[in-house]
């Protein structure tokens, strides 16, 4: 069951979605188990062999506007592409629209100067290099982004960056990082203290300490999350992105569309897990003549999952449509809502799928364990569920005349 057919007709998009589903089914999904056991550098080479075909069918950089050489899809249309690609762990990477590169590309398209575009943006658009986004710090609560210790001090035409970051996803093998660092610690407004800066990963003082193990798996290359120490990293002032001390403003602009992409990718994962769960329920014998799917509790898991996935999809598409028509600010409530709601549905569906698979579900013999350990963080990164719920409730209560105080 899928609601895409009920959306406004776009033959170009529909053809692309069909082609992408067929591509994933034939060229990506059959190789997933082997790829997950290989070094990322080898996996990347194999995925690259499909790039000419993906460009031919219009799947390369599918989120770009026509002004930037892309197909010019609306955010709601891009959301549908993201769902399809979410059906494989490698789907987005194959089309050069994976996080964190997609968000970094959107940021650089809007704010990069000519020199930055030549050095960083164009190679990123061509899939020649990868990037990472370096904001979260181990010594501060990620739920409160103004708590940053990393500083970038001006000195003779350069910024000198010092600090410690972690969960800098995909830093292993990336060519550069976009770093959030405090450039004006004395600003009265805490949201005007930080800036975004470009740092090559081969710069002296850029130290990748480790890939952080996620439930025992450290990963390599793009599929990793790194701890970074910036030790007197020296970059020219020209590698500032956008206006100085406006890092939080830029980050907020990056987050809105990014959450649509994430949520629809999660729905694609839900659909993959749902399919595996139903296959297992329909074929796994629990007796001489009985099957797992005949158990009422399993039937309940399947029914609940189907309803929740459908509801989540419509919520995200509604938020995307509101952003397309009225702008990001007007869709603020919807964006907060989908972030925690879809992350919660993702967690439920994956957990049920694992439960239906029994012991097999917690092994790496299916894709479920990988999705579970990688996506449990969905309820934490980009703001934990609790923060989004509190923010949403405060905004709603303000409409009823109550100003909520944080004691």
230 and 267 part of one domain: no
- Say how far apart CA 357 and CA 364 lie, in whole Å: 12
Residue carrying the six token digits 């979410």: 86
Q: Tell whether 110 is covered by a domain.
A: no
Q: How far apart are CA 276 and CA 298, in angstroms?
A: 13
**Structural domain boundaries enclosing 141:** 131-245
d(CA 345, CA 342): 5
Of the pLDDT bands very low, low, confident and very high (cuts 50, 70, 90), residue 145 is: confident
Which of 189, 222, 245 is a domain's end point?
A: 245
272 and 383 in a single domain? The answer is yes
pLDDT of amino acid 306: 98
Total of domains in the chain: 3
- Do 61 and 13 share a structural domain? yes
- The pLDDT tens digits for 211-234 are 999 999 999 999 999 999 999 999
70-107 pLDDT tens trace: 899 999 999 999 999 999 999 999 999 999 999 999 99
Q: Rounded distance, CA 204 to CA 44, Å?
A: 27
Residue 304 lies in a domain: yes
* Number of alpha carbons in the 13 Å side-chain half-sphere of residue 114: 0
Q: Are residues 70 and 185 in the same domain?
A: no
Position 1 pLDDT exceeds 50: no
Residues 254 and 393 in one domain: yes
């Amino acid at each position: 069951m899928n609601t895409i057919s009920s959306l406004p007709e776009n033959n170009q998009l529909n053809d692309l979605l069909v082609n992408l589903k067929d591509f994933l089914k034939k060229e990506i999904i059959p190789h997933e188990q082997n790829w997950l056991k290989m070094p990322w550098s080898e996996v990347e080479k194999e995925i690259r062999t499909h790039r000419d075909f993906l460009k031919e069918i219009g799947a390369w950089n599918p989120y770009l506007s026509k002004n930037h050489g892309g197909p010019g899809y609306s955010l709601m249309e891009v959301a549908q592409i993201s769902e399809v690609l979410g059906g494989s762990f490698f789907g987005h990477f194959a089309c050069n629209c994976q996080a964190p590169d997609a968000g970094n590309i959107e940021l650089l398209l809007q704010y990069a100067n000519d020199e930055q575009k030549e050095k960083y943006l164009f190679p990123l658009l061509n899939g020649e290099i990868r990037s990472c986004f370096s904001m979260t710090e181990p010594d501060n609560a990620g739920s409160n982004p103004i708590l940053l210790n990393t500083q970038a001090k001006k000195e003779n035409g350069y910024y000198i960056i010092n600090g410690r970051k972690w969960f800098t996803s995909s830093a292993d093998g990336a060519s550069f990082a976009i770093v959030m660092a405090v450039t004006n610690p004395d600003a009265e407004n805490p949201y005007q203290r930080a800036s975004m800066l470009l740092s090559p990963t081969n710069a002296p003082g850029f130290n990748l300490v480790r890939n952080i193990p996620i439930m025992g798996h450290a990963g390599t290359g793009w599929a990793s999350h790194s701890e970074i120490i910036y030790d007197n990293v020296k970059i020219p002032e020209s590698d500032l992105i956008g206006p100085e001390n406006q890092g939080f403003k830029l980050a907020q602009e990056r987050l809105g569309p990014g959450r649509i992409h994430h949520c629809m990718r999660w729905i694609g994962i839900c659909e993959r897990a749902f399919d595996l769960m139903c296959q297992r329920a329909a074929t796994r014998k629990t007796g001489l003549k009985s099957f797992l799917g005949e158990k009422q509790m399993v039937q309940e898991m399947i029914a609940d999952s189907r309803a929740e996935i459908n509801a989540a999809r419509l919520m995200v598409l509604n938020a995307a449509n509101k952003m397309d028509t009225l702008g990001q600010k007007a869709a603020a409530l919807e964006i907060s809502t989908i972030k925690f709601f879809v992350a919660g549905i993702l967690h439920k569906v994956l957990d049920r799928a694992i439960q239906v698979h029994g012991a097999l579900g917690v092994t790496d013999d299916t894709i479920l364990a990988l999705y579970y350990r990688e996506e449990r963080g969905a309820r934490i990164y980009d703001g934990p569920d609790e923060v989004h719920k509190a923010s949403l409730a405060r905004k709603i209560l303000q409409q009823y005349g109550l100003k909520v105080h944080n004691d």
